[in-house]
Amino acid sequence: MAELSLMVEGIEETIEELERLEERWTGGGPWVVGTAVEYAVYLEFGTSKMDPKPFVRPAIHAYRSNLQAAIAADTNTTLDAIGSAEELVQTIAYGLERRIKRIITAKGLIETGTLRASVQAVPGDDVDQLPTADEVNPEASADLEVSA
C-alpha cells in the first residue's frame, strides 16, 4: 500500500495564531440591559388603551442592523478598537443602555425621570439586579452618561 505524506509550511504558525484568536474572542460573560420599573413593559408594548411607545426594541434593532455604526454612535470607541470578547460584550451593553436612554428622551417618556434613570447595563444574567423605581434617583438621569 502506498503512503501519502504532505508537508505544509507555516502550519505551526497558523495554529498558534488561531489559538491566540480563540483566546481573544471567547468568553465575555452575559450582561443584562434594561429596567425593572413596573410600567416599562406597558410603554414598550402598549395596552388595550394605549399605543406602544417602544424604547428597547428600536435600540436592539439598531445594534442588530449595523453593530459597527451603533457602537460608534453610542460609545467612545470603535469596533476595530475592541480587543476581546469581554470588552465587546461590555461595550454593547453600555452602548445599548445609552441608546435606550436617548430614545426615552426623544419620545418624551421621561415623566418623572424614573424610567430613564432606571435603565442600566449590569454584568451577569440576573434581571433582579436591575433597579426598581424606588431604587433610582431621577435627578441622576439628567445627563446621558451610562452607569459605569
Residue 20 inside a domain? The answer is no
Q: Does residue 15 lie in a domain region?
A: no
21 is a domain residue: no
Q: Give the angle 94-118-134 at the CA atoms, nearest 5°.
A: 155
For residue 11, is it within any domain?
no
Give the residue from 134, 102, 107 showing the smallest Cα distance to 118.
Answer: 134
- The better pLDDT of the pair 42, 13 is held by 42
Half-sphere exposure of 143 toward its Cβ, with a 13 Å CA cutoff? 3
The number of CA neighbours under 13 Å toward the Cβ of 135 is 12
Q: Is residue 8 part of a domain?
A: no
Short-list 115, 91, 93, 112, CA closest to 103? 115
**Residue 24 covered by a domain:** no
In a domain, 19, yes or no: no
Taking residues 13-41, report their average pLDDT: 80
pLDDT of residue 146: 46
The residue segments making up the domain with residue 95 are 31-142
Q: How many domains does the chain have?
A: 1
pLDDT digits (tens, 9 = 90+) for 109-134: 866 678 888 898 988 888 888 877 77
147 in a domain, yes or no? Answer: no
Q: What is the pLDDT of residues 48-58, one digit of tens each?
A: 999 999 999 99
Which pLDDT tens digit goes with each residue over 54-90? 999 999 999 999 999 999 999 999 988 988 888 899 9
